[in-house]
Amino acid sequence: MLGGEVLAEWQSGLDDLFAVIAGRFSRVEPRRLAFAYVRGLLAPLERRNGWTLAEHAGRRSPNAVQEMLYSPCWDPHLVRDDIRDYLVEHLGDPGGVLIADETGFVKKGTRSAGVQRQYSGTAGKVENCQIGTFLAYASPRGRALIDRELYLPKSWTDDPDRCAAAAVSDGVEFATKPQQARTMLERAVAAGVPFAWFTADEAFGQNPGLRNWLEEQDIAYVMATRNDDEVPAGLHTVSPVKTVIGTIRAGAWRRMSCGDGVHGPRTYDWAWAPIRTGFAHGRRGWVLARRSISTGDIAYYRCFGRRGIRLRDLVRVAGSRWAIEESFQTAKNEVGLDQYQVRRYDAWYAHITLAMTAAAFLVVTRAAEAAKGVHAQTAAS
């Protein structure tokens, strides 16, 4: 059981967070409902849907709560900006890493914005689902989701009537997931989010448009790619990354941890080789390889950064990608990121933003508690 003093401190922290976003609501009632919604997401409820959140807020029906999610009296995108700034205030670090990834939301029917049968990495198969593209921030102090976009397949963007029925905003055009990642990165850069690296899986890493943009912006990256992805290997030659790594002598592999996981350090064998071409801003490029100690399976990465980068720097960034998976797990298991019952495009953004708000509070609270432990140990020594 938590002591009353601790609970009071946590409630004060939640009130401080609400104060950060309160000005984004033009009317009192939607603001009260939104704050009650966040409290419900943080409560130990078995399911966090319209009915249970309404009951937790003392309402007889979910109608008012559901209407709050698409109320014109607040803008979820402005709240997103406030939550991002709140997280940067508490977790920000110049060596931070931005991470892009997608996650699936399994749904029934055909009317929820963006829903169709499509591959979901969450389910590991083709499902009837929505896909959200997210941007996370990771630093030594913690990790959390800071931005989000709902992926709309062409089956939606090519059908104006279907979009209108789901309240998809006028002018919303088809965007690939790498394009959505770029949009979120542009927002992070414009907001002055402190970071040194960007990382993502091969769905993003094999996209030349995203890679070229990152290089033009001088954003260092470590992104997974396919084993047959070709890179410059000489003055006039290109080779698949598996061939480039295949030429490395056996003694060049180094066994290193890329960070701690649930079961301890994530340890692999690592090797790297230069990409032999010129890069913007006088930077350099590398192919990075990660080999499983138990199976020998090899994963590959394209990398870009300043001269003088060390292998362990790239390994650390590659390992940072798991931070977004952990953020998804926290947001889904602890604050109901995936437990919504809305079909509208605007309501999806509202729920996801409020769930990110609840998750941000948990992350910042944990970081504060961890800092207390460090201070206590320092004082004791």
pLDDT in tens, 58-82: 998 899 999 999 999 999 999 999 9
Mean residue pLDDT across the chain: 94
Mean of the pLDDT values across residues 266-284?
96
pLDDT score of 365 more than 80: yes
Return the pLDDT at 2. Answer: 55
Query: So what's the pLDDT on residue 379?
Result: 47
Q: Do 342 and 66 touch, CB atoms closer than 8 A?
A: yes
pLDDT band at residue 378, thresholds of 50, 70 and 90? very low
Taking 80 as the threshold, does the pLDDT of residue 4 lie above it? Answer: no
What single-letter DSSP state applies at residue 140?
T
Q: Read off the pLDDT band of 376 (50, 70, 90).
A: very low
Rounded CA separation 359/352 (Å): 10
For the beta carbon of residue 226, count every other beta carbon within 10 angstroms: 14
What is the arithmetic mean of pLDDT over 24-29? 96
Average pLDDT of span 133-137: 98
Q: Which residues contact 293 (CB under 8 A, 6 or more apart)?
A: 255, 267, 268, 269
- Banded pLDDT at 1 (limits 50, 70, 90): very low
- pLDDT for position 123: 81
**Model confidence over 316-348: pLDDT tens digits?**
999 999 999 999 999 999 999 999 999 999 999
Q: Is the pLDDT of residue 311 over 50?
A: yes
Instruction: Say whether pLDDT at 377 is over 70.
Output: no
DSSP letter assigned to residue 169: P
| pTM (two decimals) | 0.94
pLDDT at 233: 87
Instruction: Supply 110's token pair.
Output: 């055909």
Average pLDDT of 164-188? 96
HEC string of 7-39?
A: HHHHHHHHHHHHHHHHHHECCHHHHHHHHHHHH
The dihedral formed by the CA atoms of 371, 375, 377 and 381, expressed in degrees to the nearest 10: 160
Mean pLDDT of 136-156: 97
Residues 6+ apart with CB under 8 A from 303: 221, 222, 223, 272, 285, 286, 287, 288, 309, 314
Interval 180-192 mean pLDDT: 98
Each domain of the chain, given as residue ranges in start order, spans: 4-198+324-380, 221-320
Task: Read off the pLDDT band of 381 (50, 70, 90).
Answer: very low
pLDDT of residue 185: 98
The whole-number pLDDT of residue 373 equals 64
pLDDT of residue 8 exceeding 90: no
Residue 91 has pLDDT above 80, yes or no: yes
For the chain, percent of residues with pLDDT exceeding 70: 96
User: Do 355 and 105 touch, CB atoms closer than 8 A?
Assistant: no
